[in-house]
Amino acid sequence: MNKPEFILIHCSDTKEGADFSAKDIDAWHRARGFRCIGYHYVVRLDGTYERGRQDLEEGAHCVQESMNRRSVAICYIGGQSKDGKYADTRTPEQKRTIITLIRTLRGRYGNLPVLGHRDVKGVAKACPCFDAAKEYANL
């Protein structure tokens, strides 16, 4: 990827309050046959973020619309309520860090639009379980 065109927001599709690391996701994605973690950034419950792939490395998070080659992916840990339903489980710390990452990426690559995974044409998923395009439109 020369320059990303979008920032794509994902959730890890894991239960509220359960923390996982980029290393955990790396193991899950390798188990699915990916070379390594498919996302570029992982935002943990306490708001710390961890690196996955390098920004300009092709991702493995959304084949539709060639988004793996066109976007930088931020994944927050969560996306399911404790009883396993789709839910926006972002902690205040995660919300703050996602905004910081978006601003940092825009500083690097220009004013990239933000999309949620579910906003990409052809995707039939709830991920990231909130309206990312709307929430970050006026950052």
Give contact residues for Zn ion (rule: CB under 5 A): 10, 117, 127
Least distance (Å) between residue 10 CB and Zn ion: 3
How far apart are alpha carbons 96 and 94 in whole angstroms? Answer: 5
Least distance (Å) between residue 61 CB and Zn ion: 6
Q: Which is nearer to Zn ion, 33 or 107 (CB)?
A: 33
**CA 23 to each of CA 44, 53, 95: distance values in angstroms, whole numbers, following the listed order:** 12, 12, 21
Q: Which amino acid is at 57?
A: E
Q: Which is nearer to Zn ion, 107 or 120 (CB)?
A: 120
How far apart are alpha carbons 38 and 58 in whole angstroms? Answer: 9
How far apart are alpha carbons 3 and 14 in whole angstroms? Answer: 30
Q: Which is nearer to Zn ion, 39 or 109 (CB)?
A: 39
Least distance (Å) between residue 117 CB and Zn ion: 3
